[in-house]
Amino acid sequence: MIVKTLSSLGHAIIDSIWKLGVASSFIARVLTRSSIVFRRPRLLVDEIHFAGVLSLVIIVVSGLFVGLVLGLQGYETLKRYGSTGAVGTLVALSLVRELGPVVSALLFASRAGSAITAEIGIMKTTEQLSAMEMMAVDPHARVISPMFWGGFISMPLLAAIFSAFGILGGYLITVVVIGVDGGAFWSQMQASIDFHHDILNGVIKSVVFGFAVSSIAVYEGYAAVPTAEGVSRAVTRTVVTSALAVLALDFVLTAFMFTGGV
């Protein structure tokens, strides 16, 4: 019984390492075939439109609501200490350091990541990728690389837009609706946010999340079993794996960036 359990555990570990190796080799191949995005920038622009521009609505609306909630919660807490002017700092720090990169990455995985996986998976199912290969056109370069870079570039931009609209939401609810002093809101925010420590670290997080989510999305699409059920499972795996990867990476990055390691 113990031998059987250990054997299946060992098998699962070896299987996971093997899959990680396959995925890494796939991503390495995509990266080494990326010169096409410089030679034919139109392909990249189309993918940035697909992954980034078409995700704008969900990012803007979500950012706005997250900012509204942060503003309300922050105001209610800070009111007890008579420091409601610091609500701008609270909203901005929460968004720039954490919520902006993390929530936008989760939304990006759900909207764009799933769409990328589905598109590649369906192309595989309908033999479009095979047809491309037989025309001597490498799908890693022609299809997957622009999709990967489109997602990778869009992600930090979406995180920045999310944070900007979140701050706007916080401003609207605390300054315009509740009546907190606007000067205090902006000046305290400006005084307490450090470009390198807060904004740059937030950008680095969103870049890392962009790499992770885009890699997972293109790999799951390419590795999908070429059936309707296979593509559906691949899309689910993209969303679940991306969410877990983003949260785990966020913990690791936060530990190193803001506490100097745990």
Partner 1 sequence: MTKVNFSYSNRAIFDNLNVGFSKGKVTAVMGGSGSGKTTILKLIGGQIKPTFGDVSYSGQSINQLSYDELFQFRRKLGMLFQFGALFTDLNVFDNVAFPLREQSTLPEVAIRDLVLMKLHTVGLRGASSLMPSELSGGMARRVALARAIALDPKVILYDEPFTGLDPISTAITGDLIRRLNDALGITSIFVTHDINASFKVADEVVLLSRGQVTARGTPEELIASQDPFVRQFVGGQVDGPVPFHVASDSIEEDLKIRILHRIAK
Site of interaction with partner 1 (CB under 8 A): 126-128, 130-131, 133-138, 142
Q: Nearer Cβ to partner 1, position 14 or 131?
A: 131
Nearest distance from C-beta of residue 208 to partner 1, angstroms: 29
Q: Nearer Cβ to partner 1, position 71 or 221?
A: 221
Q: Nearer Cβ to partner 1, position 127 or 194?
A: 127
Instruction: For residues 216 and 222, give the distance between their C-alpha atoms in angstroms, rounded to a whole number.
Output: 10
> Any long-range contacts for 32-41 (C-beta under 8 Å, 24+ apart)?
33/138, 33/140, 33/141, 33/145, 34/141, 34/145, 34/148, 34/149, 35/141, 36/141, 36/142, 36/145, 36/146, 37/145, 37/146, 37/149
Instruction: For residues 219 and 140, give the distance between their C-alpha atoms in angstroms, rounded to a whole number.
Output: 11
Q: Nearer Cβ to partner 1, position 9 or 137?
A: 137
Nearest distance from C-beta of residue 154 to partner 1, angstroms: 19
Nearest distance from C-beta of residue 127 to partner 1, angstroms: 4
At residue 180, what are phi and psi to the nearest 5 degrees?
-65, 150
Asked whether the beta carbons of 246 and 142 are under 8 A apart, the reply is: no
Q: Nearer Cβ to partner 1, position 50 or 171?
A: 50
Nearest distance from C-beta of residue 185 to partner 1, angstroms: 47
Nearest distance from C-beta of residue 218 to partner 1, angstroms: 17
